[in-house]
Amino acid sequence: MYDAFSSDYDRFVDWPGRLKLELPFLLGHLNARGAQRVLDAACGTGWHAIALAQRGFDVAGGDLSASMVARATANAREAEVTAEFRQAGFGDLASAFGRDSFDAVLCLGNSLPHVLDPAHLTRTLEDFAACLRPGGMLIVQNRNFDAVLATHQRWMEPQVHREGESEWLFLRFYDFDPDGLLTFNVITLRREADSAWEQATGSTRLRPQPKAELAKALSESGFESLTFFGDMSGSGFDAISSGNLAIVCRTRKGIA
């Protein structure tokens, strides 16, 4: 889905608004740990990494989608910053970027639920730990799947984007599948001026990760000092009302 969606992804996300909200949280934690070299896992079109590079961090990004990596590289070039982007999915980041290479790893934007089974989740988290220097920091941002599963939250807020006379409308919803996974669907509607809407659809599967399961997997993969937040502004986590589950943790000394 993301190869096809890469051309519209920066229309789908309100990056100025999102970065205004999220950067203070990220900068606060990165600076508190003295982090300098940062890896954005599942970097998408690269804007978190680019924003950090603009603020003096040494950044890299990996994504499974070659089209997303190409878009991130172009965005960094246009922003006139140095950022290294490579095609690398979960479980392959340490091989692509080197072990013990980073002070912090970011996994944002509900990316981790694309890992569809417990064994792959373990391998992914161990890969994050392998990328980090001992005592390095991991920041994860997921949907609050405790609430999604408890209330069967199917639909998300529509997203609208306009450029001149062109207009885009993005609709997102989940199908709750019999095997316990979710199908994440995106409908993209586009029109020029008053012409008829054109539409495209895409979907991918997700595995919901409630707080307790993710906390257990992180602990078993070598992470400690887990702190939980309900969003990227730093509010407390509530299993029913929080929109997100954000986790800040670090590797144990000696984990590589």
pLDDT in tens, 152-173: 999 999 999 999 999 999 999 9
* Helix, strand, or coil (residue 86): strand
DSSP 168: E
Checking if the pLDDT of 196 tops 50, the result is yes
- pLDDT bucket at 255, cuts 50 / 70 / 90: very low
Checking if the pLDDT of 7 tops 50, the result is yes
Closest by CA to 123, choosing from 221, 206, 250, is: 221
CATH topology of domain 148-206: N-terminal domain of TfIIb (2.20.25)
Name the residue with tokens 């996300």. 13
Total-model pTM: 0.96
DSSP 236: B
DSSP 230: S
Contacts of 67 (CB under 8 A, 6+ apart): 2, 3, 4, 6, 7
The residue-averaged pLDDT of 103-127 equals 98
Q: In whole angstroms, what is the distance from residue 168 CA to residue 114 CA?
A: 25
- pLDDT tens sequence across 198-243: 999 999 999 999 999 999 999 999 999 999 999 999 999 999 999 9
Write out 115-161 in H/E/C secondary structure: CCCHHHHHHHHHHHHHHEEEEEEEEEEEECHHHHHHHCCCECCCEEE
Q: What pLDDT is recorded for position 252?
A: 87
- pLDDT tens sequence across 130-153: 999 999 999 999 999 999 999 999
Checking if the pLDDT of 254 tops 60, the result is no
Percent of the chain past pLDDT 90, that is, above it, reads 98
Q: Where are the domains of the chain?
A: 2-144+208-251, 148-206
The whole-chain average pLDDT of the chain stands at 96
Closest by CA to 253, choosing from 121, 88, 133, is: 133
188's tokens: 């993209």
**Does residue 39 contact residue 136 with C-beta atoms inside 8 Å?**
no
- Torsion 144-246-222-120 (CA) sign: positive
The residue-averaged pLDDT of 113-123 equals 97
* Helix, strand, or coil (residue 43): coil
Q: State the CB neighbour count (10 A cutoff) for residue 102.
A: 28
The residue-averaged pLDDT of 22-43 equals 98
Checking if the pLDDT of 32 tops 50, the result is yes
DSSP per-residue codes, 93-112: HHHHH-TT-EEEEEE-SS-G
Indicate the residue type of 255.
I
Q: What pLDDT is recorded for position 233?
A: 94
66's tokens: 């070659």
Class of domain 2-144+208-251: alpha beta
- pLDDT tens sequence across 65-98: 999 999 999 999 999 999 999 999 999 999 999 9
235's tokens: 């509010």
244's tokens: 């997100």
Q: What pLDDT is recorded for position 256?
A: 39
The residue-averaged pLDDT of 162-190 equals 97
